[in-house]
Chains A and B, each alone.
Chain A
Amino acid sequence: MADICSIRPANDAAAIELSGWCRAMLADIPRNHSLVSDLYASAATRLAVGSAIADVRCVLFFGHGNPGSLGTPDAALIDTLNIGNAGGAIFIAMACSSASALGPDAIQQGVESYLGFNGPFAWILGDPDDQFRRAIFSGISLLTGGGSIRNALEAMQFGFDGADTYYRNAQAGRKSNSTLGQLTAFYNRHHLVLLGNQAATL
């Protein structure tokens, strides 16, 4: 089974930003892992995605999400009809809400582990303090470096805790937008969940 497939539709400002985070992470994947496909922007069609997630060890999705699907509500790229293609894979969805319905469905259909948010995923636009991207990056780096998906979850939670603290302290210094930064970090921290096999590794 090949290693990693990334999907980053980049279909609006928020998704473009997430796509950039993903691209930066892909550049840091250790050489003992291979990137099989990187479906970016218009290349991320439902057909291409359904095919790409088959027979890979890890799927990285960075874009919009809903409880039952990934992609936009009117153009789902992954839902109950094709999530089973990723059977046996570790699925990481950096998107809103998909761990609440699609995640359990994925595990039911044979996906080994599903890491994602069971509520909206939000951050300060542009991540000017590099708090949110760093939290996500730390988890994926641990996984590609040989850790388990549980280690990845904990690293991301630790990262969001750090962002929470950073913005809480910034509030004391009256830094603009720090309250939203603290609230979103705290919310993300508590809505990031891991389903399925906690010990899975790449």
Chain B
Amino acid sequence: MGQFSFQPEESQPPKRQPSQSALRLDPMKDAHQNILEHLKAWMANHPEPDRPMLSMANLGVYSPRELCDAVERRSETGQFLESLILFGASARADGLQGVLKSFVQENEDSAGLSSSISTVSS
């Protein structure tokens, strides 16, 4: 599948806690481990981690949590999700790091919203 490289970023102070682990790839870990870690962060921040959200015309429907489990088990679905990420990363200037970063960051606002609602209600 597509090419990607691990590019260490200059260390920067994290702006928000949820994305702290999402802002860089760990050069000591392989692509599978990096993808898994970032997907777990994505799932943890996702407003609806157990709601089915991805359909595949031969593998069925999956929630964010099931997608993470599939990647962890390296099932057929997990392998497809990894290939989807690597294929997309091969076409982006910011590569795998950029794809994984957007995975985690896209839920930051909803995570922040959820926590503020919790605070108000408590």
Cβ-defined partner of A95 (8 Å) among B58, B102, B105: B58
**What separation, in Å, do the CA atoms of A73 and B99 have in the docked complex?**
32
Binds B, one of A26-34, A41-49, A122-130, A150-158: A122-130
Out of B42, B80, B102, B110, which one reaches A120, CB within 8 Å? B80
Beta-carbon contacts under 8 Å, A116-174 to B:
117, 120-125, 171, 174
- Taking the complex as formed, is A186 at the interface, i.e. its CB lies under 8 A from any CB of chain B? yes
What CA separation (Å) do A171 and B110 show in the bound complex?
A: 13
Q: Does A115 sit within 8 A of B, measured CB to CB? A: no
Please name all residues of chain B whose beta carbon is closer than 8 Å to the beta carbon of A124 when the two chains form the complex: 53-55
In the complex, the chain A residue whose C-beta lies closest to that of B103 is: A179
Q: B88 — which chain A residues lie within 8 A by C-beta? A: 182-183, 186-187
Chain A positions 4 through 36: 1 when the CB is less than 8 Å from some CB of chain B, otherwise 0: 000000001111011000000000000000000
Chain B 87-122 residues near chain A, CB threshold 8 A = 87-88, 91, 99, 102-103, 105-110
Nearest CB of chain B from residue A137's CB, rounded to whole Å? 16
A180 adjacent to chain B (CB < 8 Å)? yes
* A178 in contact with B106 (CB, 8 Å): yes
B108 to nearest A CB, angstroms? 6
Is the Cβ of B105 less than 8 Å from the Cβ of A174?
A: yes
| B58 partner, pick from A120, A171, A175, A180, beta carbons under 8 A | A120
Inter-chain contact A14/B61, CB cutoff 8 Å? yes
**Alpha-carbon gap, A122 to B80, bound state (A):** 10
What's the least CB distance linking B39 to chain A, in Å? 10
**Given A122-B84, A176-B106, A179-B106: A65 touches B57 (CB 8 Å cut-off):** yes
| B44 proximal to A (CB < 8 A) | no
A187 touches B84 (CB 8 A): yes
Using CB atoms and an 8 Å cutoff, list the residues of chain A in contact with chain B: 12-15, 17-18, 63-66, 94-97, 117, 120-125, 171, 174-180, 182-184, 186-187, 190
10 interchain pairs (CB within 8 A)?
A14-B59, A18-B57, A65-B57, A65-B58, A120-B59, A121-B56, A122-B55, A122-B84, A174-B107, A179-B42
**Cβ-closest 9 pairs across A and B:** A96-B58, A183-B88, A121-B57, A96-B57, A14-B55, A122-B56, A174-B109, A179-B103, A179-B102
If A13-B60, A184-B54, A186-B88 are given as contacts, then 19 extra A-B residue pairs at C-beta distance below 8 Å, sorted by A number, are A94-B57, A95-B57, A95-B58, A96-B57, A96-B59, A117-B57, A121-B56, A121-B58, A122-B54, A124-B53, A124-B55, A125-B53, A171-B105, A174-B107, A175-B106, A179-B99, A180-B54, A182-B102, A183-B85
